[in-house]
Structure 1
């Protein structure tokens, strides 16, 4: 087995550390809903790479395919994106979108749990949604992932542009660029996975989380004012 297959173990450890960092931040700013969602996002990110780690260490198992599909393909970047929604949009709109997409994910997850799993189609030992007998359940994920991409990547780009126009906020500009890159990388890796190169995903997941962490870290430690009212009031 190639060493690249063990990268998800390191990514899971990084996610656990990142989770604790945001948790400590959230404890001091418990009214910041965006921090709560980011914390959940890093948790689910780590849960997804944990499933990949289990697959590397113990091989393909039907329950792990189901678990991986829920936390990876369905949840994916949704909680991180929802944190950005709470940062950018009005609270009422953010709550509505949270309820709407959480309900969709719950319904989709139930369908995935109920679907039989045929691991015989995973002869290469790689996790894939093609093992789900009910292939129609895979149609849920594009809608959720598109929403996640728009707000996580798009939100970071939007913030970066706003900060770029203000020379006093160059650190926050740079931080949002790193977050945007981090949001983009797993999607690129996922495209390679569909072509049979899951190893690319393992690398981009690690680099993506490192990029998001660095962006979060430098923004958190920057003393300049945030352009976002919610963030300015709670950080």
Structure 2
């Protein structure tokens, strides 16, 4: 048993639960939907890391392994990503969110027809069809009633979560009922049949992309901008693709100015905060992807480091933690223009 296989998951679990309590307290004070959904996502993060601690400290069992895979592979990124869709529901972010759901479904379809996951073709096709319908609904809602898009995304996620729960809990697992890397003793999903594993795309890929790029977009909203791409495109689909490209290019072009503003003490605190969140979301997304393909040594480290960066980012952010309480108020900031109003 590696000490890090116990310490890192324990740290991730404890920090997740503390973080979740703070976010849910903010929701209780202000009743914003994104805070509630983020709080749920952080609870999932804490439970998933908790199963890793139990497995590392006391040995893996089949029930612990099933809970680990269900929550880690399906729930964590999905709920955090939908929380971001709620945060940006007044913007055109729904176009991007719908596209990520489609991409996740498409990857499920492609993986299901590969030799790596034999017998998963039907599951992958069904996942793709559902993801396609959900993506179209999210994009259509963004075009007509923007704030409805987040509710649709949440509905798709909840229905998908129920289906995933049934499949994960009823799937046959070969003895001993779990799987770990023989060298690092880090859990891997290979004990589950292919028809379960190919379903994770619309959950974790879409969720991670929404969380990462939602944070980047939020940073872009508040940073001093140097716009390289200024054109207005109105043709459907082309306009959305151009919008993603414009934000990406203009964000990169604006970074030198943001650094200068930071050194002068003039940069909005939400810019470094959301950049930290983006980096923090990217790291565990990368290490969990590597875990799927056999690179497991960085899995627990990425999980802890990513969560820590997200936590620091949220603590720096004036918008999310204007008042911080654990029972009593620890500190308070004067209100400023919210991100929801800025992107509305």
Could you say whether these structures have the same fold, taking a TM-score greater than 0.5 normalized by the shorter chain as the test?
yes
Question: In the TM superposition, what are the counterparts of 1:184-223 in structure 2 within 5 Å?
Answer: 184-219=282-317, 220-221=321-322, 223=335
Gaps of 5+ in 1: none
After TM superposition, give the deviation of residue 122 of structure 1 in Å. 2.7
Pair 1:122 & 2:179 matched: yes
Please name the residue that 1:228 is paired with.
340
Residue 54 of structure 2 aligns to a residue whose secondary structure is: helix
Alignment check: 8 A CA contact 1:87 1:230 kept: no
CA-based RMSD? 2.1
- For the pair 1:179 / 2:277, whether they are aligned, the reply is yes
Q: 2: CA distance between counterparts of 1:165 and 1:203?
A: 34
Question: After the TM superposition, which of the residue ranges 208-217 and 223-232 deviates more from structure 2?
Answer: 223-232
The equivalent of 2:134 in structure 1 is none
Larger helix share, 1 or 2: 1
Which TM-score applies when normalising by structure 2?
A: 0.63
Q: Count residues with an aligned counterpart.
A: 230
Structure index of larger Rg: 2
Contact residue 186 and residue 297 of structure 2 kept, 8 A: no
Task: Report if the CA contact (8 A) 2:33-2:83 is conserved.
Answer: yes
Matches within 5 A, 1:72-87: 72-87=72-87
Shift of 1:161: 1.2
* C-alpha distance in structure 2 between counterparts of 1:51 and 1:183, whole Å: 20
Gaps of 5+ in 2: 90-145, 226-260, 323-332
| Aligned-pair CA distance for 1:216 | 1.0
Mapped contact 2:88–2:343 kept (Cα < 8 A): no
Report the CA distance shift for 1:83/1:176 in structure 2 as closer, same or farther (over 3 A).
same
TM-score of the superposed pair, with normalisation by structure 1: 0.90
The one-character-per-residue Cα deviations of 1:24-60 (angstroms, maximum 9, x if unpaired) are: 2111112x00000011011001111011111101212
Please tell me whether the aligned partners of residues 60 and 126 of structure 1 are also in contact (alpha carbons under 8 angstroms): no
